[in-house]
Chain A
């Protein structure tokens, strides 16, 4: 575990850069995390996914998988890969300040 500074505030993250305490996250940190993760500037579509991830996490204690995102977030799996290249569920979770979605086994 280590720490990072986003938007002038120190937060705890794990080795892969995921927040260990989602309560430390603030909206104004997202843009910096996104740049660091190689996602670039955040658009309204990105925010739709980020907000959905936050809500799901608050309700269920874990972020959704890509397929669940594609079914429920209002953004198709294809577009999710355009918005968050490589790994939408992982990248969006990191930017949303929630733990890495618990991988299915």
Chain B
């Protein structure tokens, strides 16, 4: 009997999982991808929109068109999943039965969870660049900005692409210099973390870059309220940071359809998942890829790509009744755009923090150091995303497991 795999979400994870599964199981399984719209956004490009370096039409393509022949695409919302009955209930009442469910529903911005954030000043002096609407509106505001205090604030972790707000700071420094008004702008990065980043070696390197670029760093700031009218961020422990323009990364939660599914998500709507096999802890026949998973990795496209190989292997093994492969190592790889045509590359996993050296081996891109080569790598990635990553191909020279060669462990 043909078995049915249903994939919730046609973003990075759902698309690459579908294409890899189709190749591994062609003819043996019916694969259906469900998403509520047909707009696949290249999210790494959002960072560039506020600075006029990318535009909406460059970043959006059809979700269905990224899927290989033989994969069914349902352009429909998901009401909820009944994990006991192995059934997905779609908006409008239709149902999909499954043998294996892959949850790839990503993360959702929840600005309304922060007092005042979507109140006075929202989209006029308080913006987020984490979606197309916000990034596009911010582009207009930055163009008209003549000087004053700009704050970049992360409300709470986890967020998608935890380096993006730092990149925004670096690019803002570059942007205002290009416009000749950098001396009129006070730029401040306000984070709930106790440093510029989560991991010590990279945190020190990135804090040094902020300092060199004249960007102030405010740490352990847990934003409790954004007062757009008065122009200030207020923390839960009653500290205040004033602004003329605020760029806020809102808190994130899991998809609403996960929240509506009894027993599927945790308190934040992410799905409890084994961090090495990517099988959910909810049901043996539910697997999770990408931002939807509650595992201790960055919510980032590179992680999702690296998860793809292990996820597909485990879905195949599960269907064959075999033992799962517990080899996902938390591999993460991020280009951090630093302005002036340069970028920093970091590469790490569950056990190894980002270190200096070279990637993928002693000869390669410099790690934890600004370079033009890394900037070119970041630009090239846009092409690879649509043509290699989504189709589910392995990228040349880029392995799923994090390479140890080239990393300078003595600098820990």
Query: CB-CB < 8 A to B251: which residues of A?
Result: 67
**Bound-state Cα–Cα, A60 to B273, Å:** 11
Chain B residues 341 to 390 lying within 8 A of chain A, measured CB to CB, are none
Question: A105–B162 contact, CB under 8 A?
Answer: yes
Q: Is B311 an interface residue (CB 8 A)?
A: no
Query: CB-CB < 8 A to A104: which residues of B?
Result: 157-158, 296
Choose the segment among A5-13, A19-27, A33-41, A78-86 that binds chain B (4+ C-beta atoms closer than 8 Å).
A78-86
CB distance from A56 to the nearest CB of B (A): 9
Size band of the interface chain A makes with B: 10 to 19
**Bound-state Cα–Cα, A60 to B297, Å:** 17
Question: A68–B296 contact, CB under 8 A?
Answer: no
Q: Is B266 an interface residue (CB 8 A)?
A: yes
Question: A105–B236 contact, CB under 8 A?
Answer: no
Query: CB-CB < 8 A to B298: which residues of A?
Result: 105
Q: How many A-B residue pairs have CB under 8 A?
A: 43
Partner of B266 from the list A68, A78, A85 (CB cut-off 8 Å) is: A68
Chain B binding site: helix, strand, loop or mixed by DSSP? loop
Q: Is B279 an interface residue (CB 8 A)?
A: no
0/1 string, A48-65, CB within 8 A of B gives 1: 000000000000100011
Question: A71–B224 contact, CB under 8 A?
Answer: no
Q: Is B178 an interface residue (CB 8 A)?
A: no
Question: A81–B224 contact, CB under 8 A?
Answer: yes
Given the known interface contacts A104-B158, A105-B157, the answer about A81 and B267 at a Cβ–Cβ threshold of 8 Å is: no
Q: Is B198 an interface residue (CB 8 A)?
A: yes
**Of B156, B162, B220, which is in contact with the most chain A CB atoms at under 10 Å from its CB?**
B156
0/1 string, B202-234, CB within 8 A of A gives 1: 000000000000000000101010000000000
Q: Which residue of A is nearest B297, CB measured?
A: A105
Q: Is B84 an interface residue (CB 8 A)?
A: no
Query: CB-CB < 8 A to B237: which residues of A?
Result: 81, 85-86
Q: Is B319 an interface residue (CB 8 A)?
A: no
CB distance from A29 to the nearest CB of B (A): 26
**Bound-state Cα–Cα, A20 to B266, Å:** 25
Q: Is A4 an interface residue (CB 8 A)?
A: no
CB distance from B8 to the nearest CB of A (A): 22
Question: A71–B198 contact, CB under 8 A?
Answer: no
Question: B266–A103 contact, CB under 8 A?
Answer: no
Question: B296–A67 contact, CB under 8 A?
Answer: no
**Bound-state Cα–Cα, A71 to B265, Å:** 13
Mark B residues whose CB is within 8 Å of A: 113, 156-158, 162, 198, 220, 222, 224, 236-237, 251, 266-268, 272, 296-298
Besides A66-B156, A67-B113, A105-B158, 9 more A-B contacts (Cβ < 8 Å) are A65-B157, A66-B222, A67-B267, A67-B268, A68-B267, A78-B224, A86-B220, A103-B198, A105-B198
